[in-house]
A and B are shown apart, each in its own frame.
Chain A
Amino acid sequence: MYPKKLEKFLLKVQKPGRYTGGELNSVVKDKSKVDIRYAFCFPDTYEIGMSHLGMKILYSLVNAREDAWCERVFAPWTDMEAVMRENDILLYGLESGDEIRNFDILGFTMQYELSYTNVLNMLDLAGLPLRSKDRTSLTPVVIAGGACVCNAEPMAEFFDITLPGDGEEVTNELIDLLKEYKAKGASKQEFLQAAAQIKGVYVPSLYEVEYNEDNTVKSVNPTCGAPEKVEKRNVADLDSMFSPSEFVVPFLEVVHDRTTVEIFRGCIRGCRFCQAGFLNRPLRRKSPEVVEAQCKAICDSTGYDEISLCSLSTSDYKGLEKLITNMLPWTIEEKINIALPSLRADNFPKELMEKLNAVRRSGLTFAPEAGTQRLRDVINKNITEKEVLTTAAQAFSGGWTAVKLYFMIGLPTETEEDIEGIANLAQAVVDEYYKNPDKPKGKSVSVSISVASLVPKPFTPFQWEPQDKPDVLIEKQNYLVSCVKTRKVNVSRHVPWTSFLEGVFARGDRRLADVIETAWRKGCKFDGWAECLKPDMWEESFAENGIDPYFYTARRREYDEILPWDHMDYGVTKKFLVNENKKAHKGETTACCREKCAGCGANKLNGGVCDEIGKTVV
C-alpha cells in the first residue's frame, strides 16, 4: 500500500503498478506485533528487482518469522522520483506504505556495480544520511549482500555491514542479534562489533586501510576484535535450506516472471572470466525430489505456466534427465513449460530437448565466448567449434531457425584473428543450416551474436589483468562488424563505457566513495541504463576527486600486490588463482571438476565436502 499523499500523483507516472504493492502473495502483517522491520531494497526498477530470486528467498525467509516483517523497496524511476521530491514523500515499503527510515534493517542486494549510485539515491530518498558514520542511531542498520560485496570497498563508507556469501542463515542470525541489542538499548557501535563476530559478516568501519605512495593498498588492519579474514557464509545442505513456496506475483510484466528454483550452487567449469563460478564454490547440489516439490508448490501458489531450473550451468546437474522425466507428466498436464537457462552445447541430449519442447518452444542460445580454440583455451571455456556446430545442426534439424551466440571481447592475449574467429564461427553456424536437407522451404536462418566486453573481476584468475580501454573496445567491435559478410548474422554490442565504469568499481578501493557521492550529486543514477548513463559527469567526478580511473582498470597488477579485497575469503585460494592465471597465459586448460578436482580450496568452507567430488582431506 502506498502513502495516501501519493494517490493523486499515481496516474501521472509511468507504470503506477510499480509503486502500489498489493500483489498476490505479498505479505502484510500487524506492525504492532513484530520486533524487526526489514526493508529489502533492490537498487533498480521494480521490473528488474521482481525478477531476482535472491529477493524472493530472503523475503519469504524473513516473513516466515513471527517477530519480523520484510517489505520490498525498489528504486523509483526518474518520473516518480521527481513526484516524491516535489511533494516531500519519503521512500516507503510497498507492503505498508510506511517510511523505511523508521525500519530496523535496510538490506540492499548488490548484483551489479552500476547500481551503486542508486543505493545513494535510495538512502537520500528515504531521508537518511548517506554515510555509515553519519547515521548514529542503532537503527536502521544498512546492510548489503550479493555478488558485488566480494569487494565492498568502493561502497564501504555507505554500508554498515555487508554479508559475503549465502544469505539464508546469516540473515536470521543478524536479525536475532539486532533484536537482542535493540531490546537492551545498545549503541550502534556495540551492535556492529558484536555482529562482526558472526561468520559471514563484514563491518567495513572496523577495518583501517593504509595506502602506499603509488595508491596501491599497503595494509588492511582489523580493529575492535574484528576477524583478520572475513570468510564468506556457506550453506552446506541445499535440501534443508529455506526455500520459498510462494512468490509475490507481479501485475506488471517483469523481466523474469516465472517459477524459478535453484538446482545447485557453484559450478564445475572454471571458466576463468566468470566470477560467479568462483564465488559460489564449492559445488552444492539440491536433490531432484526436493527441486520437483519446490517447483510444484510455487506453480500452485502463483499460477505460473513456466518453470526455470536455475544454476550456473544447468546441463551439468547430475540427474537432470531423471528430474525432467519425472516432472514432464504433470507439467504437460498443466501446460507448464520448463526452461533451462545456461545450457552447454556439448552435453545436452537431443531427446531431452525434444521432450522439453512438448509445451512451448523456447529460444536456442550458445555461449562459445571466444572465436578461436586458442582463445577458448586461454579462458578455459572447454567447448570446441565442432560441439557448437553439431548441436546447431541438431537444432536446425529439429526445426529451429534462429540461434543466439554469446561472445566476449577484450580477453587476455586477444588478437585480430580471434575477433575474426567470432565472425567465422557465426558464418559456420549459418552454413550448417544450409547443409540441413530438411530445412523449411523459404525460411532463412538468423544468427544473432551478442558481444560483451570482459570486465576482470575479483576472485577470478583474471583479477590481475588489465582491462581494454573504451576506445580499444570500440575499435575491436568495429573490426568484428567489418568481418561479418552476411545479413543472416546480426551483431549486438555492449556500450564500452559501461564496461569501463563497471571495471573501476569491480576492482576499486575505498578512495572511490567520494567519486560515487560526487557523481550522484551531479545527477548520476541508473548508470546501467544507456539512457541515464552520464559519462561526462563521471569524468568530472573522477577529476574533482583527483582519482585516475585507469589506475583500477588499465593496469596489470603484480601477484604480490595487496588487493583491496584480499581480506575477504571466498574459499578459493589465491595460490590456485595465480596458477590459473599463469596457465591462461600459456593457453593451458584446466579440466572441469567432474573429470578431476583442480584443488581450488573452496571445500574447506564446507567441512571438506564438495558435492562434485565428495569429501576429501582438507
Chain B
Amino acid sequence: MKSVRLWFKKDGLAVYISHLDMNRCMTRAVRRAEIPLWYTEGFNPHPYMTFLMPLPLGQVGMREPLDIRIEGEMSFGEIKKRLNAVMPEGIEIIDVAKPECKPNAIAAAEYEIIAEFANEGEAQGFALGAASLIEGGVLNAEKRSKRGIKTVNLCEMVRKFEAEAKGNEVFITTILAAGNTVNLNAELLLSALLSQFGAETENTVIVRTKLLQENLSIFE
C-alpha cells in the first residue's frame, strides 16, 4: 500500500460540483480508470481518498490535491493517463506525485479574483478602497464555524492583498489563511469588502491558484 497525491484542476461546469459530490465523483473515476485502489478493511469497505483542502462551490481550483492509496505497482504517468481518459468535463489531473508535505502543512492559499462592476467608476473606487481598508488592518465580519457564528477581524487572515481596476473589472491577487485551524474563504472576504462600500458586483470569478505552507513556500 502506498500513498499517492493527485493534483487536479477544477473549472468550467465542474465548479458547480460541491465538495461532497466531488468525493463520489472521484471515487467513481478511479474505479473506472481501474487504478489498483487500497480499500479500508471495515464493515463497509471503501477506497481511501482524502481531499486535503475542500474547494468552495463555485470556485475554480488550478492545482488541488487529493490523496489516495494504492495497492501494487502503477507508475505515476500511467495513473495520470488513465484518470484523464475517464474524467468528466471540467476536471483534469495535472500531476501525480509522491506526497512531499504533510496535509497539515497547508497554511495559506493564493487566490485570483475578478470582480465585474456596473461601470469603471465603481471598479476604480472599489479597488482603491479595498486595498486601503485591508492595509488599515480592520475588517470585521461574521464568520460561521463549528462553534457558531462569531465576529472576527478578517485582516488577521489576509497575508497579501493587491487590487487593480481595469475598465469595469477589478483584479485581486490575495493570499489568505487556509487549513484546518484558521481558514478564510475568499468569497467571505469579497462580500465583506463589498458590504463595506455598499457595492455589488455584476459577476465574480474566484480562482484558487496555489496552496502554500506557513513560510509561503509551495505546498507539494
Contact = CB atoms under 8 A, between A and B. Distances in A.
Same complex for A and B? Answer: yes
Interface of A: 1, 7-8, 10-11, 16-17, 20-24, 249, 251-253, 257, 300-305, 334-335, 359-361
B25 A251 contact: yes
Contact of A302 (B28, B44, B90): B28
22 contacts: A10-B58, A11-B57, A16-B16, A17-B17, A17-B18, A20-B13, A22-B12, A22-B88, A24-B28, A24-B88, A249-B28, A249-B88, A251-B17, A251-B25, A300-B32, A302-B28, A303-B30, A304-B28, A334-B31, A335-B45, A360-B44, A361-B43
A22 B90 contact: yes
A519 B84 CA distance: 50
Nearest to A22: B13
B168 interface: no
Contacts of B171: none
Given A22-B88, A22-B90, A251-B21, A17 B16 contact: yes
Nearest to A7: B203
Contacts of A21: 13
Task: Sort A-B residue pairs by CB-CB distance and give the 10 closest, nearest first.
Answer: A303-B28, A22-B13, A303-B31, A303-B32, A24-B88, A16-B16, A11-B58, A251-B17, A22-B89, A251-B21
Contacts of A251: 16-17, 21, 24-25, 88
Contacts of A24: 28, 86, 88
Contacts of B25: 249, 251
B100 interface: no
A7 B16 CA distance: 11
Interface centre among A23, A303, A304, A361 (most CB of B within 10 A): A303
B202 A253 contact: no
Interface centre among B18, B90, B203 (most CB of A within 10 A): B18
B45 A359 contact: yes
Nearest to B13: A22
A155 B13 CA distance: 36
Contacts of B24: 251, 253, 257
A597 to B, nearest CB: 44
B17 A305 contact: no
Given A8-B202, A23-B88, A360-B44, A253 B28 contact: no
A587 B88 CA distance: 56
Tell me the interface secondary structure of chain A in the complex.
loop
A17 B21 contact: yes
Interface in B6-62: 12-14, 16-18, 20-21, 24-25, 27-32, 39, 43-45, 57-58
Contacts of A359: 45
A476 to B, nearest CB: 39
Contacts of B90: 22
B206 to A, nearest CB: 10
Contacts of A361: 43
A20 B90 CA distance: 12
A224 B141 CA distance: 71
A20 B29 CA distance: 19
Nearest to A8: B203
Given A251-B24, A253-B20, A302-B32, 19 more contacts: A7-B203, A8-B203, A10-B58, A11-B57, A20-B16, A22-B12, A22-B88, A22-B90, A251-B17, A251-B25, A252-B21, A253-B24, A301-B32, A303-B29, A304-B28, A305-B31, A334-B31, A335-B45, A359-B45
Nearest to A25: B88
A11 B17 CA distance: 11
Contacts of B21: 17, 251-253
Nearest to B45: A335
Interface string B102-117: 0000000000000000
A252 B16 CA distance: 10
A127 B217 CA distance: 55
A1 B12 CA distance: 10
A17 B90 CA distance: 13
B86 to A, nearest CB: 8
Contacts of A257: 24
Nearest to B28: A303
Nearest to A300: B32
A16 B18 CA distance: 9
B39 A10 contact: no
Nearest to A301: B32
A566 B29 CA distance: 50
B184 to A, nearest CB: 19
A501 B193 CA distance: 51
Nearest to B203: A8
Contacts of B57: 11, 16
Interface centre among A20, A253, A301 (most CB of B within 10 A): A20
Nearest to B18: A17
A300 B27 CA distance: 13
Nearest to B116: A8
A7 B12 CA distance: 11
A251 B31 CA distance: 15
B155 to A, nearest CB: 25
A180 B218 CA distance: 62
Nearest to B187: A11
A5 to B, nearest CB: 12
Contacts of A17: 16-18, 21
Nearest to B39: A335
A305 B20 CA distance: 17
Contacts of A301: 32
Contacts of A20: 13, 16
A23 B21 CA distance: 12
Contacts of B86: 24, 303
A302 B29 CA distance: 8
Contacts of B44: 360
B44 to A, nearest CB: 6
Interface centre among A251, A252, A302 (most CB of B within 10 A): A251
A101 B58 CA distance: 29
Contacts of A249: 25, 28, 88
A139 to B, nearest CB: 29
B45 to A, nearest CB: 6
A331 B43 CA distance: 17
A21 B12 CA distance: 11
A347 B219 CA distance: 58
A311 B39 CA distance: 31
A304 B90 CA distance: 20
A17 B21 CA distance: 10
A11 B15 CA distance: 10
B100 to A, nearest CB: 29
A252 B13 CA distance: 13
A22 B87 CA distance: 11
Contacts of A16: 16, 57-58
Nearest to B12: A22
Interface centre among B12, B30, B31, B45 (most CB of A within 10 A): B31
Interface string B165-177: 0000000000000
A335 B27 CA distance: 12
A399 B95 CA distance: 45
A20 B45 CA distance: 32
Contacts of B29: 303
A571 B15 CA distance: 50
Contacts of A252: 21
Contacts of A360: 44-45
Nearest to A10: B16
A257 B21 CA distance: 12
Given A8-B203, A17-B21, A251-B21, A1 B45 contact: no
